[in-house]
Chains A and B, each alone.
Chain A
Amino acid sequence: MKAFMNHLAFEFGSGVRNKNLLLMNYLFPLGFYLLMGFIMPAINQPFREMLIPVMVVFAILSAAMLGIPDPLVNARENGIFRSYKINGVPALSILVIPVITTTLHLLIIAFIITVSAPLLFAATMPVYLSGFIITFLAMAIASCGIAVLIGVVSSSSRMTVLWSQLIFVPSMLLGGMMIPYSMLPGAAGKISQIMPATHAMNAFKGLSMGFQPDFSAWGSIIILLLTGILGFGLALFLFSWDSRNTRRRGPAWLAFLVLLPSIVGIFFLG
């Protein structure tokens, strides 16, 4: 436990000390938040009502999808996992610690956004704090689970960028952050339900902001949690210590199973 805590403390410090992680964890989400906060309410008044959830979901996507996979791939490529293995660092720690530290950084960001947005941009405050925290944690778990899985199965940094962007960009466009779910055409709405951002926005809307959700808000929470758990489990199953020793317990395509909860959800949530 002491070793795990030491490792956690080091990784948490790295999130600020490492320039890339500092950018993905803090500078990028906060910069985008300030930009969107100044621009969007001016051209679209109702945006204020969902500014806080939108920016929190954006911060989670940015920190998880852009911040977690690449360091994992680099660590594997540069022999850091090998050093960890010979010194007794378990695979579980290697995968779970970035999730915990990213979530801690995200808590700080979410706090900054939630406290400052009403003051700076007259944004609507969450009505139900417990719903806000539950949705935040569910989205963080889902995004980090997928991000860790991408880091484990990507063969290189270039592939990491490809897979991460495959989640990040559609989430930004169709995930209910820029265009509300209710305004999407039927098929696009269904497709958007594959993305965690759609479920997070739906859950924030229903459980935290006091609006009518587009579909079951608790259903969205369950899908997010199942996605996160499945993503993390698959990452642990497919984990390999060494880029030169690529023997895995299963084929990389198994990673697509992480989409199963949201695909099943399309048929049950309506």
Chain B
Amino acid sequence: MSATPIVTLQDFRKTYGTFTAVDGISFDIHEGEIFGLLGPNGAGKTSTLECLEGLRRPDGGTMKIAGLDPAADSLKLRNLIGVQLQAAGLPESITPREAMRLFCSYHNAAPRYDLLERLGISEKSQTQFYELSAGQQRRLVLALAVAHDPKVLFLDEPTAGLDVASRVELHSLMKELQARGTTILLATHDMAEAEDMSDRVAILLKGRLAAIGTPMQITATGAGLTRISVRTECDSLLHPVITFPSVQHFKVEEQYIIYFSQNVGATLADIIASINLHKDTIIDLRVERPSLEDRFLEITSRGGVR
């Protein structure tokens, strides 16, 4: 991943009548980066994506992909970008093989039938689109989006409706594309996916940029509490319940006591000292840092931060 921006948004605005969907956001996406675009429904993700894809025109600011304006240079951009739309739109009678041949020919690329195999739809390559399951349709659209080896790939909820195996295969394909230098803009509601896959994420809220950074940076800037779950052989922490000064709050679930703390080191030291004091033994101890999902919920629940 290089630090050269390949996608640039500067004070980008999109309005629909009197409603402002995106209100002056600016950020760069670097070459070879997987960039997660997160936000609740109506945050402006789709408007941003559709303007970048050249499907809509921005109402203010500038956006560039590889130095080209998606609205003005849409034809030049076609071979540089790959797009997997959220709603798969293909003619109902087209077969996966025909779709691959058709779209690759419009991109002046050789058909990538191997992608049909890889995404598990080769057995359905002669089946009409409307006869494919929702998951198969999504996988086909994904195969078409990457078949011409785009420099920038836009994925809108790529794993929605996919089974576990397809999801794993998609993530592996994304990493492979990234290794080959493809930049990926991933719009998703799946926080775990965004956290696992993205080098950086941006959280949009009410058309504004609420947070941007690596998943680690974003989770670190919150007031999120680390979750420490402990189970011991003699339940010495449970009967009676023992808590410590560094613990903000705790709860009991089955035979576990779960502490929430900002000072993980002090809490762990207190837990171990208490267990030793009671001559008890640890059966299970788990320390879980605040997830991107926790941070996302924190940001969205309080209306966002700059």
Residues on A close to B: CB < 8 A? 2-3, 6-7, 10, 13-14, 17-18, 75, 78-83, 85-89, 241-242, 245
Contacts and interface: CB of A to CB of B under 8 A. Distances in A.
What are the 4 closest A-B residue pairs judged by CB atoms, nearest first?
A79-B89, A88-B78, A3-B105, A86-B83
Contacts of A85: 54-55, 74
Interface residues of B, number: 30
Binding site secondary structure of chain A:
helix
A79 B106 contact: no
Contact of A86 (B55, B88, B91): B55
B296 to A, nearest CB: 27
Interface stretch (B93-101, B252-260, B281-289): B93-101
B56 A245 contact: yes
Given A86-B78, A87-B107, A87-B144, A18 B93 contact: yes
Contacts, number: 69
B85 interface: yes
Contact of B85 (A7, A83, A88): A83
A1 to B, nearest CB: 10
Interface string B19-56: 00000000000000000000000000000000001111
B89 A87 contact: no
A14 B90 CA distance: 13
A14 B102 contact: no
Interface string B58-94: 0000000000000000110011010101011111111
A3 B107 CA distance: 8
Contacts of A88: 75, 78-79, 106-107
6 contacts: A78-B87, A85-B74, A86-B85, A87-B103, A87-B144, A88-B79
A17, A79, A88, A241: most-surrounded residue (chain B CB, <10 A): A88
B93 A80 contact: no
B78 A7 contact: no
B55 A82 contact: yes
Contacts of B75: 88
Nearest to B105: A3
A2 B105 contact: yes
Interface in B171-229: none
A131 B128 CA distance: 41
A251 to B, nearest CB: 18
B89 to A, nearest CB: 3
A18 B56 CA distance: 31
A18 B130 CA distance: 11
B79, B103, B144: most-surrounded residue (chain A CB, <10 A): B103
A86 B54 contact: yes
Contacts of A79: 85, 87-89
Nearest to A247: B57
A18 B141 CA distance: 21
Given A87-B144, A88-B78, A10 B55 contact: no
A83 B128 CA distance: 17
Contacts of A241: 55
A82 B91 contact: no
